[in-house]
Structures are given as structure tokens and as C-alpha cells.
Amino acid sequence: MFFLLAIILVFYFFMIRPQSKRQKEMRRFREGLKKGDKVITTGGIHGTVYEIGDNYVLMEVDKDVKIRIDKNALISNPGDIPQGR
């Protein structure tokens, strides 16, 4: 019985908890977006937030080129990604 409980606790702390923490961070990131923020989408498109709606973001990817994307497609701020060599 103790062994089963230990396995469940290990599973929780190494699998479930980190994932829920990551989801909270992403939710805070998306809720904290403001006009002018630089973002990256899940498809790798880099752009600047131009307008924010309830479930979408209008993102400027080049001068006078804007695309409307779902907020859930945003994954990060380019400044948060470590630079390679």
C-alpha cells in the first residue's frame, strides 16, 4: 500500500504539477499581453501585438501586414527564449 502511494506521489510531483504550473504561466502570459509586445506563435511566426480581443490577437508581422490569430496559438515572448550560438 505504501509503495502504491509513493508511486502516485512521485508521478504527481514529476508529471502533473510541472504541467499545471506551465499552464498557469502561459495563462498569465496571455492575459498580460498588451499592444506593442513582441510574440511568437506555435507555428514560429514572429510579430508584434497590434490589437487584443477576448479570444484573438491581431498581430503585425511586417509593415502593414496583420494577421488575426487565436490567443492560444501564442507561446512566448522572444526575449524569454535563450539565444543559441
Q: What is the CATH number of the domain that holds 38?
A: 2.30.30
35 Cβ neighbours under 8 A, 6+ residues apart: 49, 50, 51, 52
Structural contact between residues 41 and 74, judged by C-beta atoms closer than 8 angstroms: yes
Please report the pLDDT score of residue 18 as a whole number. Answer: 85
**Cα–Cα distance, 43 to 3 (Å, whole number):** 43
Q: Are residues 21 and 38 in the same domain?
A: no
Query: pLDDT tens, 17-68?
Result: 888 888 898 889 888 999 999 999 999 999 999 999 999 999 999 999 999 9
Does residue 10 sit within a domain?
yes
Decide if 84 is inside a domain: no
Q: Answer yes or no: is 59 within a domain.
A: yes
Residues 75 and 38 in one domain: yes
Q: Which residues constitute the domain of residue 59?
A: 34-79
Nearest to 40 by CA among 73, 7, 84, 10: 73
Report the C-alpha gap between 45 and 73 in whole angstroms: 10
User: Cβ distance 35 to 50 under 8 Å?
Assistant: yes
What pLDDT does residue 12 have?
82
The total number of structural domains in the chain stands at 2
Residue 85 domain-assigned?
Answer: no
Same structural domain, 26 and 49: no
